[in-house]
């Protein structure tokens, strides 16, 4: 008897060869029940390609933009978590980059085809149109930390609104009534969502909107550089009634603001209080220790791997799954009690 072919499996089950191909290649388009029948028949007939199929399904691809700093203190533990939890689930994850030009042209990295990846995780400054292309092609994919509203991909995000709400509420509990927000909102949705959390905390505490105390940059890079920080610090100096506390979009922005204020003779927390967001290790190495919201990066990585594997097994359904991972408030020493 010759080697078993896809057509042999199709004939045995009285279905089309295309349906067999979809099942054996892990593609969406057929029900889970039919897929299981096809795989069972393939095993029964000793289909030789089955082992290769199993191997292919164990490859995952992590795609980051080429401006991405893989040594970044926030992202490095997150990438390590993704790789570790992939391995624990029996998958091999490889990292590659995409340029701005590749994103504009919707170019899929060649390594995706070479490794025959079963699914993709995106991290960094991934453009909306690029993520949308993968969704339209029904490639199992998941976006981390950046939410492209309207694109029906799967997402794993930090609890941005809740976290900023919690940080702002803590400042209010310490007696602060005039509170500002300092961030770059030009790229990452997370900084806008944290702005929402800050505003909601003010509103629910009866302090009203304080738009005049929002110092927002839209650089397009996702971070505040030193020149922008100097400009904002000068604005704070010239405010008639400046905030007694600042919520910053992340810890990096908080440190930049603290240094810019220090250069102008304003001390933290004696003269003004500052809180960050992310909970990076270096907050414990500075004086004063920064008040922050500790983002659980290991949990983010674990959730992302689990959700992507679920999507690989279920196929594209037309609906997105969004998981938000809660963090924890770090009190630190950078907030002064006003009462």
Q: Which long-range contacts (CB under 8 A, 24 or more apart) does 142-151 make?
A: 142/304, 142/307, 142/308, 142/311, 144/78, 144/300, 144/304, 145/188, 145/190, 145/300, 146/122, 146/188, 146/189, 146/190, 147/189, 147/190, 147/193, 147/322, 148/189, 149/189, 151/320
Residue 51: pLDDT band with limits 50, 70, 90: low
- Strands, sheet with 214-217, edge to edge from the N-terminal-most edge strand: 214-217, 179-184, 245-248, 273-275
- Is the predicted pLDDT of residue 231 greater than 60, yes or no? yes
How much of the chain, in percent, has pLDDT values that exceed 70?
A: 94
According to DSSP, the β-strands at 292-294 and 328-330 are antiparallel
Residue 25's pLDDT band (cuts 50, 70, 90)? confident
pLDDT, tens digit, 9 for 90 and up, residues 304-320: 999 999 998 887 777 89
Model confidence at 82: pLDDT above 50: yes
Q: What pLDDT, on the 0 to 100 scale, is given for residue 87?
A: 95
Q: How many CB atoms lie within 10 A of CB 156?
A: 24
Question: What are 100-114's pLDDT values in tens digits?
Answer: 999 999 999 999 888
pLDDT at 40 over 50: yes
**Helix, strand, coil share (%) of the chain residues, nearest 5:** 45, 15, 40
Other Cβ atoms within 10 Å of 141 Cβ, number: 24
Contact status, residue 326 vs residue 159, Cβ threshold 8 Å = yes
Q: Residue 57: pLDDT band by 50, 70, 90 thresholds? A: low
What DSSP designation does 291 have? Answer: B
Q: Is pLDDT above 80 for 221?
A: no
The C-alpha torsion from 67 through 70 and 73 to 75, rounded to 10°, is 90
- Reference 101, options 140, 69, 135, 67; nearest CA is 67
Question: Coil, strand, or helix at residue 174?
Answer: coil
Binning pLDDT at 50, 70 and 90, where does residue 287 land? confident
Partner residues linked to 159 by β-bridges: none
The Cα–Cα gap between 273 and 257 comes to 11
Which pLDDT does position 95 carry in this prediction?
A: 96
CA distance 5 to 47: 7
Please choose, from the candidates 87, 26, 70, the residue with its C-alpha nearest in 3D space to the C-alpha of residue 301. 87
Tell me the domains of the chain and their CATH numbers.
6-52 (1.10.260), 59-158+298-325 (3.40.50.2300), 160-294 (3.40.50.2300)
Mean pLDDT, the chain, integer: 90
Spatial CA neighbour of 307 closest among 101, 157, 150, 95: 157
> Average of pLDDT values for 156-163?
98
């Amino acid at each position: 008897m010759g080697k078993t072919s896809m057509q042999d499996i199709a004939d045995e089950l009285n279905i089309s060869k295309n349906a067999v191909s979809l099942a054996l290649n892990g593609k969406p388009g057929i029900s889970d029940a039919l897929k299981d029948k096809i795989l069972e028949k393939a095993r029964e007939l000793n289909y030789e390609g089955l082992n290769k199929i199993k191997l292919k399904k164990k490859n995952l691809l992590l795609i980051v933009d080429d401006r991405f700093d893989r040594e970044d203190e926030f992202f490095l533990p997150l990438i390590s978590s993704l790789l570790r939890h992939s391995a624990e689930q029996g998958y091999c994850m490889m990292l590659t980059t995409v340029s701005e030009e590749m994103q504009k042209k919707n170019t899929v990295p060649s390594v995706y085809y070479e490794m025959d990846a079963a699914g993709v995780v995106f991290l960094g400054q991934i453009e909306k149109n690029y993520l949308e292309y993968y969704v339209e092609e029904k490639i199992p994919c998941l976006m981390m930390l950046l939410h492209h509203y309207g694109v029906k991909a799967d997402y794993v995000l930090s609890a941005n609104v809740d976290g900023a709400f919690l940080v702002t509420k803590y400042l209010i509990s310490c007696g602060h009534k005039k509170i500002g927000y300092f961030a770059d909102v030009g790229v990452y949705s997370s900084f806008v969502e944290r702005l929402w959390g800050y505003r909601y905390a003010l509103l629910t505490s009866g302090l009203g909107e304080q738009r005049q105390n929002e110092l927002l940059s839209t650089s397009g890079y996702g971070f505040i550089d030193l020149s922008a920080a100097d400009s904002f610090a000068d604005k704070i100096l010239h405010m008639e009634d400046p905030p007694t506390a600042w919520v910053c979009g992340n810890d990096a922005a908080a440190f930049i603001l603290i240094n810019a204020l220090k250069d102008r003779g304003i001390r933290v927390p004696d003269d003004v209080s500052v809180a960050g967001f992310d909970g990076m290790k270096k907050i414990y190495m500075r004086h004063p220790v920064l008040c922050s919201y500790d983002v659980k990066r290991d949990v983010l990585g674990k959730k992302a791997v689990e959700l992507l594997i679920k999507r690989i097994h279920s196929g594209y359904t037309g609906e997105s799954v969004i998981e938000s991972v809660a963090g924890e408030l770090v009190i630190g020493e950078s907030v002064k009690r006003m009462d």
